[in-house]
Structure 1
Amino acid sequence: MTTIKNIFFALLVSIFGLTLANGQCTSDTNFRKPVTETIKNIETIFKITIIDDRGLLKGKELDYADWRIEQGNLEVSLANVLVPFELTYFKQPDGKYQIRKYENHKVSVDKGKERLDYLTTLYSNVSDWEKRKKEIKACMITSFGLDKAPPMPKSKPILTQKRIYKDYSVENIALEILPGVYTTGSIYKPYPLNKKSAIILTPDGHFGDGRYRKDEQYRCAIMAKMGAIVVSYDLFAWGESLLQFPEETHRNSIASTVQVLSGIRLLDYLSTIKNADISRVGVTGGSGGGSHTMFLSALDDRITVSAPVVMVSSHFSGGCPCESGRGIHLCGNGTNNAEISAMMAPKPQLIVSDGKDWTLAVPELEFPFIQRTYELYGKKNLVENAHFAKEGHDFGVSKRMALYPFMAKYLGLDLKKVQNEKGEIDESTCVIEPYDKLYVFGNKAENLPKNALKDIDKLYEMFGEKNLKVYEVKK
């Protein structure tokens, strides 16, 4: 009898369960609707304006769309609706919200502020900050793969004939930083070089014409005339580096590793030059060169003065893999360029920003955050911000005029060497050389070493890695 009751009970449960299941399966709605309609509901509920001027929501539908709205929490509501499509939102300065594709290196300014607010909770004294700084630095070294880099070859650098100009000289250099991998650039020196001189690295950025452009030649020549040994060097797969690696390989993440190594190993070489003063080392670059200015300052303790130009930002870390391709901004469970810039503390740093790119909020947002770190050491006065609200993304003359006195002050350079009778810095005394004079391998690459590596896969293998990037074959 008990067995019959059990069977009957099991049958009822089975039938009842099947009924429920069938009810769910045959439900006539899963509340699916166009995302644009849900976005309109969000606008109404939160009394905001949402812009989709790129048509990213067109044709997209979502199950349980309106159920994803959480009254009282705009950000969560937007994330719930947009994340399934790998979209995000940017809060604009005018208070409107714009729909954009998700990008790991770019968030809105308000998100940048949230991140900085969070980071300030992690340390309130030098001891705690030094621990975090050590953690981030160790992670950056591993992320870049610097701990796996082969030793620098013992080959002598390739140097061209020196050109002599008024108060400075120029010669081009190719330094073998890895087996068969040459970093190319130009060295500007005071002339005559008869006393101990500071060293300044100037990593190139993503500006047109690379290190051949006028503003970079002006910058290097002026600082050499002031008394520094200055080296300007190409990005990976840019300039003469293109003789080894094609342009598309610049967007390999290994580019960031090679560029960091270029700065470190050029400094190794420069420290061996007669009359080079390794106790006075500056670094400055703009855009992508600004990123690598921050990276070198954070990683190499020999850097004593830093001036990142148009790149310090809490909400943008560089869209190129040569800046953000190695995931260094995941270090310390999440960091950003503002915190990496702060790793320079308490040594002198000039942060140059403008009003028409991702550095637009530096005076109100990133600079106070970085100042706070300097203040932990009692050295708040050693970090400065030169902001040009009406200017855009460049290393223009006004930015250079802010740079020169700063470098002179903290590297012990002679600013009077470049001033005219009115006390103005005069760049007209510098010679702008044509491209061919700045080549180290010759006009037809006739001096390219026979061992020059041209295989990106083998470059990865040097670091115990495999190149996973696939290129489209050009026909």
Structure 2
Amino acid sequence: MKKVFLVVFLFLLLPKGNAQTSDDNYRGPITKTIQKIESIFKVTIKDKDGLLKEKELDYADWRIRQGNLEVSLTAILAPFDLTFFKENDSTYVIRKFEYARNSDNVGKERLEYLADLYPNLKAWETRKADLKQCIISSIGLDKAPPMPKKKPILTPIRKYGNYTVENIGLEIIPGVYATGSIYKPYPLKGKAPVIITPNGHFGDGRYRKDQQLRCAVLAKMGAVVVDFDLFAWGESTLQFPSTLHRQSIAQTIQVLSAERLLDYMATQKYADMSRVAATGGSGGGSQTMFLAAIDDRIKVSVPVVMTSSHFSGGCPCESGRGLHLCGNGTNNAEIASMAAPKPQLIVSDGGDWTATVPELEYPFVKKTYGLYGKENLVENAHFPKEGHNYGESKRMAMYPFMAKYLGLDLKKVQNEKGEIDESTCVIEPYEKMYVFGAKGENLPANALKDIDKLYEMFGEKNLKVNEVKK
């Protein structure tokens, strides 16, 4: 009888159902731990892409920090390279970890932290100088070989009424050519301001219609406009195939291309280098901010759909060199602030990561301008119902800003109603915009085509050895 009672007593002490013990490290599916977190914190946690499926974790429930939802989620998700985005006060979404992307609330938290670092102009100027040097070094500009002392390759000039276009191939380092087009007002009398216009990841790059319209209108207004291809994009693919665009060296070459095209422009008698501007959208917006931050020649900047505190550009050509780690962590809103106190128009929209600009990033940038007493020199043009592009309405916001601060003539592009009219601009076919011929037949013999050697020129080694090479 005693033996029967002992067996029954021991049975009552056994774990019920699926309860766990330290013998199995309290291991369990994290879906159940997430459900427990939802119950504790009264929130909804969505796993839209099934990222939690079949994942188990040791001591999962023990990682919950009562009273701190976000610490709890981080402890559960980080071992799987997962993170979370706050959708609203009661809803969170599970996402794969992306080094370049965070949720809006993380951006807000970072801006608050940064603002506390420099309560006055002296503190900001110290940080700005440190950031500038770090960005230059991170991109690799300080390791770039000298530009060869060769004349650029220029195609015959095409004349279209009151502006002209010619193509340029500039050897920026031995064997590497920046390819683009130069738009000039016609007739060109005296000195004209210079606008560098890096293109973004919009399909056809500098060959697309809206990019040509932007360059042509600015030229008709009186500016010399320099447009150029991204690395491993457009004619650059004659040297490096498009598969290499997502390598970090792309960021180096793209910024260096802009820098050395400006160096070339500085040798031209018609270029007024006291009036230099930069504008571009998306990846071109990233380059615009970088250039305005590190190159004192840039006096006016218009970064389009890229100024964000929580997204630094998912392409390594924008964020692959680690410049956003400078100063123990920075972001594009702070980098945009480095343009202060020079005129800057930040263009944003409601359909991408710039949706928060009016409430989050713009006030931060404006506060930095305020340290100089120049809040009036930074503006925000926001289009809440639009998406990620450098479309017509965004261009219409940019033209008057450039005219105001570069001394351009808006009347030259206005119709009888006073509206800016782009319709008289000529959209050229691809063939006319090529520097090296329709099939690349005029590519110089010394053109470099080895990505490994390109890295070596900067004292680095190509770690992506399995990438397709040309």
TM-score category of the 2 structures, normalised to the smaller one: over 0.9
* Paired position in structure 2 for 1:70: 65
Which of 346, 353, 356 is 2:351 aligned to? 356
Query: In structure 2, the residue corresponding to 1:307 is in which secondary structure?
Result: strand
* Paired position in structure 1 for 2:402: 407
For 2:35 and 2:390, locate their aligned partners in 1 and report how far apart those are by CA, in whole Å.
43
Query: In structure 2, the residue corresponding to 1:363 is in which secondary structure?
Result: helix
* Contact 2:100–2:311 under 8 Å retained in 1: yes
For 2:303 and 2:467, locate their aligned partners in 1 and report how far apart those are by CA, in whole Å.
35
* Paired position in structure 1 for 2:202: 207
| Residues 1:341 and 2:375 aligned together | no
* Paired position in structure 2 for 1:186: 181
* Paired position in structure 1 for 2:219: 224
Q: Using the TM superposition, give the Cα deviation of residue 132 of structure 1 relative to its aligned residue in structure 2, in angstroms.
A: 0.2
Distance 1:441 1:119, change over 3 A: same
| Residues 1:111 and 2:106 aligned together | yes
Aligned residue type for 1:176: E
Structure 2: 5+ residue stretches without partners: 1-20
* Paired position in structure 1 for 2:33: 38
For 1:249 and 1:209, locate their aligned partners in 2 and report how far apart those are by CA, in whole Å.
17
Query: In structure 2, the residue corresponding to 1:427 is in which secondary structure?
Result: coil
Query: In structure 1, the residue corresponding to 2:423 is in which secondary structure?
Result: helix
For 1:471 and 1:129, locate their aligned partners in 2 and report how far apart those are by CA, in whole Å.
43
Q: How does 1:77-96 map to 2 (within 5 A)?
A: 77-93=72-88, 95-96=90-91
Structure 1: 5+ residue stretches without partners: 1-25
Q: How does 1:427-438 map to 2 (within 5 A)?
A: 427-438=422-433
For 1:88 and 1:405, locate their aligned partners in 2 and report how far apart those are by CA, in whole Å.
42
* Contact 2:222–2:408 under 8 Å retained in 1: yes
Alpha-carbon displacement from aligned partner over 1:97-154 (angstroms, at most 9, x marks no partner): 1101111100000000000000000001111000000011111111111111110001
* Paired position in structure 2 for 1:21: none
Query: In structure 2, the residue corresponding to 1:450 is in which secondary structure?
Result: coil
Aligned residue type for 2:295: D
* Paired position in structure 2 for 1:152: 147
Distance 1:200 1:472, change over 3 A: closer
For 1:27 and 1:107, locate their aligned partners in 2 and report how far apart those are by CA, in whole Å.
35
Q: Using the TM superposition, give the Cα deviation of residue 29 of structure 1 relative to its aligned residue in structure 2, in angstroms.
A: 3.4
Q: Using the TM superposition, give the Cα deviation of residue 233 of structure 1 relative to its aligned residue in structure 2, in angstroms.
A: 0.5
* Contact 2:42–2:90 under 8 Å retained in 1: no
Query: In structure 2, the residue corresponding to 1:398 is in which secondary structure?
Result: helix
| Residues 1:471 and 2:451 aligned together | no
Aligned residue type for 2:388: H
What's the % identity of the aligned pairs? 74
Q: Using the TM superposition, give the Cα deviation of residue 473 of structure 1 relative to its aligned residue in structure 2, in angstroms.
A: 5.8
* Paired position in structure 1 for 2:45: 50
Query: In structure 2, the residue corresponding to 1:183 is in which secondary structure?
Result: strand
Q: Using the TM superposition, give the Cα deviation of residue 240 of structure 1 relative to its aligned residue in structure 2, in angstroms.
A: 0.1
Distance 1:141 1:320, change over 3 A: same
* Contact 2:349–2:385 under 8 Å retained in 1: yes
Which of 420, 426, 433 is 1:425 aligned to? 420
Q: Using the TM superposition, give the Cα deviation of residue 353 of structure 1 relative to its aligned residue in structure 2, in angstroms.
A: 0.2
Q: Using the TM superposition, give the Cα deviation of residue 207 of structure 1 relative to its aligned residue in structure 2, in angstroms.
A: 0.4
Query: In structure 1, the residue corresponding to 2:180 is in which secondary structure?
Result: strand
Q: How does 1:376-387 map to 2 (within 5 A)?
A: 376-387=371-382
Aligned residue type for 2:66: Q
Query: In structure 2, the residue corresponding to 1:273 is in which secondary structure?
Result: coil
For 1:281 and 1:371, locate their aligned partners in 2 and report how far apart those are by CA, in whole Å.
22
Query: In structure 1, the residue corresponding to 2:23 is in which secondary structure?
Result: coil
Count of residues paired in the alignment: 449
| Residues 1:258 and 2:253 aligned together | yes
For 1:302 and 1:126, locate their aligned partners in 2 and report how far apart those are by CA, in whole Å.
22
Aligned residue type for 1:419: Q
For 2:186 and 2:458, locate their aligned partners in 1 and report how far apart those are by CA, in whole Å.
40
Aligned residue type for 2:197: T
For 2:197 and 2:420, locate their aligned partners in 1 and report how far apart those are by CA, in whole Å.
20
TM-score, normalised relative to structure 2: 0.94
Q: Using the TM superposition, give the Cα deviation of residue 171 of structure 1 relative to its aligned residue in structure 2, in angstroms.
A: 0.2
Query: In structure 2, the residue corresponding to 1:314 is in which secondary structure?
Result: coil
* Paired position in structure 2 for 1:302: 297
* Contact 2:276–2:299 under 8 Å retained in 1: yes
| Residues 1:331 and 2:330 aligned together | no
Q: Using the TM superposition, give the Cα deviation of residue 43 of structure 1 relative to its aligned residue in structure 2, in angstroms.
A: 0.4
For 2:383 and 2:161, locate their aligned partners in 1 and report how far apart those are by CA, in whole Å.
31
Q: Using the TM superposition, give the Cα deviation of residue 423 of structure 1 relative to its aligned residue in structure 2, in angstroms.
A: 0.2
Q: Using the TM superposition, give the Cα deviation of residue 272 of structure 1 relative to its aligned residue in structure 2, in angstroms.
A: 1.5
RMSD over equivalenced CA pairs, Å: 1.1
For 1:471 and 1:295, locate their aligned partners in 2 and report how far apart those are by CA, in whole Å.
30
Distance 1:222 1:93, change over 3 A: farther
* Paired position in structure 1 for 2:437: 442
Query: In structure 2, the residue corresponding to 1:429 is in which secondary structure?
Result: coil
Distance 1:217 1:80, change over 3 A: same
Alpha-carbon displacement from aligned partner over 1:151-179 (angstroms, at most 9, x marks no partner): 00011100000000111000000000010
Aligned residue type for 1:453: L
Q: Using the TM superposition, give the Cα deviation of residue 274 of structure 1 relative to its aligned residue in structure 2, in angstroms.
A: 2.3
TM-score, normalised relative to structure 1: 0.93
| Residues 1:458 and 2:453 aligned together | yes
Q: How does 1:117-196 map to 2 (within 5 A)?
A: 117-196=112-191
